[in-house]
């Protein structure tokens, strides 16, 4: 089964947040998920969903394509 998101998409998201110096809690609140859930996504213990990736790209003004597998 092919997945839409890159295997390491959560790492890319975490790196972008760290690079900008933004609080994870702020991003989680803007996305509409709990900070604890978001923390689990960022550390890899929960899978980054496509929905969260789309919302995160909007909140951070990133191209969604950085999270997507090449087709």
> Tens digit of pLDDT for each residue in 29-65?
999 999 999 999 999 999 999 999 999 999 999 999 9
Lowest mean pLDDT among 5-14, 20-29, 41-50, 62-71: 62-71
Structural domain contains residue 15: yes
Q: pTM to 2 decimals?
A: 0.91
Hey, what are 43's tokens?
A: 């550390």
Structural domain contains residue 62: yes
pLDDT band at 10 (very low <50, low <70, confident <90, very high): very high
Determine the 3-state secondary structure of 46 from DSSP. coil
Structural domain contains residue 18: yes
Number of domains in the chain: 1
Structural domain contains residue 4: no
Predicted local distance difference test score (pLDDT) of residue 52: 97
Q: Domain range spanning residue 54? A: 9-67
CATH number assigned to the domain comprising residue 41: 1.10.260.40
Instruction: Please compute the mean of the pLDDT values over residues 11-39 and round it to a whole number.
Output: 97
Q: How far is CA 12 from CA 1, 37, 39, 42, 44, in A?
A: 22, 17, 14, 9, 11
């Amino acid at each position: 089964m092919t997945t839409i998101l890159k295997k390491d998409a959560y790492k890319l998201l975490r790196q972008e947040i760290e690079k900008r110096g933004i609080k994870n809690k702020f991003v989680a609140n803007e996305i509409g998920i709990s900070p604890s859930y978001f923390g689990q996504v960022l550390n890899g213990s929960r899978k980054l969903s496509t929905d969260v990736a789309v919302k995160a790209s909007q909140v951070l003004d990133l191209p969604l394509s950085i999270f997507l597998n090449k087709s």
